[in-house]
Amino acid sequence: MEITVLKDVPLDDILMEDEIYGPILALVPVDDVDHAIRIIAERNTPLAIYVFTEDESVKKKFLERTASGTLVLNDTYQQLVVHEMPFGGQGESGYGAYLGKTSFTTFTHQRSYINVPFAADPYMALRYPPYSDQAVQALGTFGMHMKIPEA
């Protein structure tokens, strides 16, 4: 399917109300980089921002002054094939991310599980008050540094 490119799309055009999932590319004229960043900031957070420039200061401005699910510099495809990079939206464009390992983490729940046998309780009795100086010292060796309040 071929892409349709629309030039000089006004900001109040219906095309600018929601995210466009292709194959339409709306080109909005801007005065300069700061104007483009203001336009992005005034709207819902986009799924992706694509910036084509070799100017490091422009890259830095987009990185520091915009929010988006993904920021892609000088490409339109790599973020989808690098499976270590999560892909997803922010705000109106979605919550969470997926692709590769991130998909597994996002769509699964890691449940913690511990089974302490009742027979172990006598060995852990020092964790219960009243605390002796010996118990406080022993708990400190396990990283449980505690200060016993004065009575």
Integer Cα distance of 35 and 42 in angstroms: 11
Give me the mean pLDDT over the 53-75 stretch. Answer: 94
- Domain boundaries in the chain? 31-104, 114-146
The answer to whether the beta carbons of residues 49 and 71 sit under 8 Å apart is: yes
Integer Cα distance of 143 and 127 in angstroms: 12
pLDDT at 94: 66
Q: Which fold has domain 31-104?
A: Aldehyde Dehydrogenase; Chain A, domain 2 (3.40.309)
pLDDT at 83: 72
pTM: 0.61
- The structure tokens 């010996």 sit at 134
Give me the mean pLDDT over the 4-30 stretch. Answer: 90
**Residue 105 confidence (pLDDT) above 90:** no
